[in-house]
Amino acid sequence: MSLLRRRGGIVKKPELLAPAGDFEKLRTAIHYGADAVYLGGSQFSLRGKAGNFNDTELREAVAYARGQGARPFVTVNIFAHNRDLNALEGHIELLAEVEPDGVIVSDPGVFALFRKRAPHLHLHVSTQANITNAAAARFWEDAGASRLILSRELNIDEIREIRSATSVELEVFVHGSICISYSGRCYISSFLASRSANTGECTNSCRWTYSLMEEKRPGQYLPVFEDERGTYLMSSKDLCMIGHLHLLADAGVDSFKIEGRMKGINYVAGVVKTYREAIDALGDGKSYNVKARWTRELSMFSSRGYTTGMFFGRQPDADFNFDGESYRMSHELVGVVMDIREGKATVQMRNRLDAGDTVQFLSPGLEDEYIAVDRLWDEEGEAILSARNEQAVSMRVPDGVRRHDLIRRAKGFGGGELLTKRDKPAVGRIPTGG
């Protein structure tokens, strides 16, 4: 089995496409190895509650991504109503000028407007368009799409069949949250909170806890749930295909997409870094082997547990439904390295840090190192015993730490609750001179 497909005799490695909900996430995703990023304007995006970008910021974001060698894609994937069309035409004019590497759309009318008013832009058809068969793929290719983001309901064999029937680029989600809905077209939020997921206002209602109560028995909750706190029937585990990327690559997938424009930079950094290493391993000429460090890394930030979704057909409910017990996070973000000079880093704090706490640097080759921070300095160079959120401090860092790297801490390892003393590995120590 070939791990990578050839096009025109050239082996093509799948693209790593990462979420960029705001400028910091954009920078973080590219820093940790994303080939491309997807981001939304302040309108017309299905993640309306993400930080997103106004028109000026959108220009800057596209320019920044290009300057860093990454491809920027802009989402315009709402299902538009008549009231949206006038403003949408203005947004199309903006994107025609900005020229992102791709525009992600789901509504056929929006697609047609882009083809008419900005025919030079590459259009990617969103997963919300429900592309589940080769005929639909050919339809969108004939309409002028340059990429299809396939339905989450497809298995790997179906993807392979679509690949053989079309030459357009194919993209699939490989990691992140899964909506309990058909290709993300959800109505629960509209009914319960009067906020439509299909226009970018999802309240994540499927993640809420529910119980069943019979009309004539008020207050009596029927035992349809997995535990005493309620049922998680509508809340899926998170998708994780780290162990099967070789199968997707061999099936002809061009782009591996990570979900998470609403997630924080701790998630973006860890997931992008891990999948970057995994994709690079696809092209090393050897068989694909999942490193234990990759699965360990993916368990460090909050998730609902992991599933392979529908790529291998229907799974037992226990393998798909969130069980209520796995929504946990083993590591928390401490700070971001803003500058390094002579072995000392300036760090923008995102959490409290005390002298003597033990941290990890999300830097190549240092992922498993636990480092005790012996000394901290404030902006005036005065030694301090602790630092708080949003404060800028200095600390000595080991060789290999880079500007924009994240600093993390195991919860319970200097302030949390998950690790015990028995769990703690050997700790290195940063030099204390200076």
- Position with higher pLDDT, 254 vs 324: 254
Dist. CA 21–CA 366, nearest whole Å? 27
Dist. CA 263–CA 150, nearest whole Å? 22
DSSP 112-126: HHHHHH-TTS-EEE-
pLDDT value at residue 430:
45
Kindly report the CATH number assigned to the domain that includes residue 366: 2.40.30.10
Is the same domain home to 316 and 386?
Answer: no
pLDDT value at residue 98:
96
pLDDT value at residue 195:
62
| In the predicted structure, residue 230 carries a pLDDT above the cut 80 | no
How many residues does the structure list for the chain? 434
Give domain status of residue 204, yes or no: no
The answer to whether 111 and 125 are in contact (CB under 8 A) is yes
Q: Which of 213, 259, 207, 257 is nearest to 236 (CA)?
A: 207
pTM for the structure as a whole: 0.83
Dist. CA 265–CA 260, nearest whole Å? 10
Give domain status of residue 217, yes or no: no
Give domain status of residue 33, yes or no: yes
Q: What mean pLDDT, rounded, does the chain reach?
A: 83
Give domain status of residue 401, yes or no: yes
SS3 (DSSP) at 161: helix
Give domain status of residue 304, yes or no: yes
First to last CA, the chain: 56
- Position with higher pLDDT, 114 vs 320: 114
Q: How many domains does the chain have?
A: 2
Write the Ramachandran bin of 322: left for phi over 0, alpha for psi from -120 to 50, otherwise beta.
beta
Is the same domain home to 155 and 69?
Answer: yes
pLDDT value at residue 309:
86
pLDDT tens readout for residues 96-119? 999 999 999 999 999 999 999 999
Give domain status of residue 162, yes or no: yes
pLDDT value at residue 41:
81
| In the predicted structure, residue 1 carries a pLDDT above the cut 60 | no
Q: Which of 255, 376, 260, 242 is nearest to 298 (CA)?
A: 242
Kindly report the CATH number assigned to the domain that includes residue 113: 3.20.20.70
Is the same domain home to 305 and 351?
Answer: no
Is the same domain home to 19 and 123?
Answer: yes
Q: What is the mean pLDDT of residues 253-271?
A: 93
Is the same domain home to 279 and 360?
Answer: no
- Name the domain boundary from 320, 347, 379: 320
Q: Which of 331, 171, 304 is nearest to 235 (CA)?
A: 304
pLDDT bucket at 2, cuts 50 / 70 / 90: very low
Is the same domain home to 347 and 295?
Answer: no
Is the same domain home to 60 and 154?
Answer: yes
Is the same domain home to 158 and 55?
Answer: yes
Is the same domain home to 73 and 136?
Answer: yes
Give domain status of residue 410, yes or no: yes
- Position with higher pLDDT, 192 vs 152: 152
Is the same domain home to 150 and 120?
Answer: yes
Is the same domain home to 284 and 402?
Answer: no
| In the predicted structure, residue 193 carries a pLDDT above the cut 50 | yes
- Name the domain boundary from 273, 299, 320: 320
pLDDT tens readout for residues 336-355? 999 999 999 999 999 999 99
Is the same domain home to 39 and 102?
Answer: yes
Q: Which domain holds residue 62?
A: 5-182+236-320
| In the predicted structure, residue 429 carries a pLDDT above the cut 60 | no
| In the predicted structure, residue 79 carries a pLDDT above the cut 90 | no
- Name the domain boundary from 320, 352, 383: 320
Give domain status of residue 107, yes or no: yes
| In the predicted structure, residue 327 carries a pLDDT above the cut 60 | no
SS3 (DSSP) at 212: strand
| In the predicted structure, residue 394 carries a pLDDT above the cut 70 | yes
